[in-house]
Structure 1
Amino acid sequence: MPNKNSEYRFNHILLKLSKLESIDSGLLEESFNIITKSVVEALNVGRCGIWFYNEKRTAIILNDLYESETQTHSSGAILDASDFPKYFDYLLEERTLPAVDTFNDPVTSEFLEVYLKPLNIVSMIDAPIRVNGKMIGIICCESVGVTRNWTMAEQNFIGNITDILARAVQAKERKEVMNQLERMNIHLEELIEERTKELEVQRARTANASKMAMLGEMASSIAHEINNPLAIIISLVSMIKRMDEKGSSKEDKDKALNNLIETSNRIEKIVKGLRFFARDASRDDFVHTSINQVIEDTLALCNQKFHQHGISIHYNICPDSIIYCQPVSLSQAILNLLSNSFDAINSLEDKWIRIECFETQTDVQITVTDSGNGINEEIRDKIVLPFFTTKEVGKGTGLGLSIVKGIVEQHGGKLSLDSGCPNTKFNIMIPKKARAA
Structure 2
Amino acid sequence: MRSTTDGGRLIDTVRHIVAGLGPNDTQLQRVRDDLSEALQQHFQVSTVSLWCLDLMASPMVLHCVSLHTAQGQRPPYGPLAEEEYGEYLRWVMREGVYACSNVDEDPNLQGLQPYFRRHGVQALLDAAFQVNGRPRGVVCLEHTGGPRTWTPAEKSLLRRVSAEASLAIARMEAMPRLPSERP
The amino acid that maps onto 2:166 is A
- Residue matched to 2:107: 106
**Match runs of 1:34-433 below 5 Å:** 34-57=34-57, 58-68=60-70, 70-75=71-76, 77-112=78-113, 114-175=114-175, 177-180=176-179
Contact residue 122 and residue 146 of structure 2 kept, 8 A: yes
The amino acid that maps onto 2:64 is L
- Residue matched to 2:11: 14
| Secondary structure, counterpart of 2:126 in structure 1 | strand
Larger helix proportion of the pair: 1
**Residues 47, 76 of structure 1: CA spacing in aligned structure 2 closer, same or farther, 3 A cutoff?**
closer
In 2, distance between residues paired with 1:45 and 1:105?
Answer: 20
In 2, distance between residues paired with 1:180 and 1:137?
Answer: 27
The amino acid that maps onto 1:22 is G
In 1, distance between residues paired with 2:138 and 2:33?
Answer: 15
The amino acid that maps onto 1:60 is L
**Residues 74, 85 of structure 1: CA spacing in aligned structure 2 closer, same or farther, 3 A cutoff?**
same
| Secondary structure, counterpart of 1:121 in structure 2 | coil
Structure of larger gyration radius: 1
**Residues 181, 54 of structure 1: CA spacing in aligned structure 2 closer, same or farther, 3 A cutoff?**
same
The amino acid that maps onto 1:9 is D
**Residues 74, 121 of structure 1: CA spacing in aligned structure 2 closer, same or farther, 3 A cutoff?**
same
How many Å apart are 1:24 and its aligned residue? 5.3
In 2, distance between residues paired with 1:38 and 1:146?
Answer: 23
**Residues 49, 164 of structure 1: CA spacing in aligned structure 2 closer, same or farther, 3 A cutoff?**
same
How many Å apart are 1:25 and its aligned residue? 6.1
In 2, distance between residues paired with 1:90 and 1:159?
Answer: 14
In 1, distance between residues paired with 2:98 and 2:173?
Answer: 27
How many Å apart are 1:170 and its aligned residue? 2.2
In 2, distance between residues paired with 1:14 and 1:153?
Answer: 13
Contact residue 37 and residue 73 of structure 2 kept, 8 A: no
**Residues 76, 98 of structure 1: CA spacing in aligned structure 2 closer, same or farther, 3 A cutoff?**
closer
TM-score normalised by L of structure 2 = 0.87
**Residues 14, 80 of structure 1: CA spacing in aligned structure 2 closer, same or farther, 3 A cutoff?**
same
In 2, distance between residues paired with 1:180 and 1:103?
Answer: 50
Moved segments of 4+, more than 3 Å:
23-26, 180-183
Instruction: Output the aligned Cα RMSD.
Output: 2.1
How many Å apart are 1:76 and its aligned residue? 5.5
In 2, distance between residues paired with 1:66 and 1:158?
Answer: 16
In 1, distance between residues paired with 2:147 and 2:22?
Answer: 36
In 2, distance between residues paired with 1:10 and 1:35?
Answer: 14
| Secondary structure, counterpart of 2:67 in structure 1 | strand
- Residue matched to 1:32: 32
List gaps (5 residues or longer) in structure 1: 184-437
Deviation per residue, 1:316-350 (Å, 9 max, x gap): xxxxxxxxxxxxxxxxxxxxxxxxxxxxxxxxxxx
**Residues 147, 24 of structure 1: CA spacing in aligned structure 2 closer, same or farther, 3 A cutoff?**
farther
In 2, distance between residues paired with 1:43 and 1:61?
Answer: 23
| Secondary structure, counterpart of 1:139 in structure 2 | strand
Contact residue 28 and residue 172 of structure 1 kept, 8 A: no
What is the aligned length?
A: 177
How many Å apart are 1:55 and its aligned residue? 4.1
**Residues 48, 14 of structure 1: CA spacing in aligned structure 2 closer, same or farther, 3 A cutoff?**
same
In 2, distance between residues paired with 1:142 and 1:15?
Answer: 23
In 1, distance between residues paired with 2:77 and 2:44?
Answer: 24
| Secondary structure, counterpart of 1:150 in structure 2 | coil
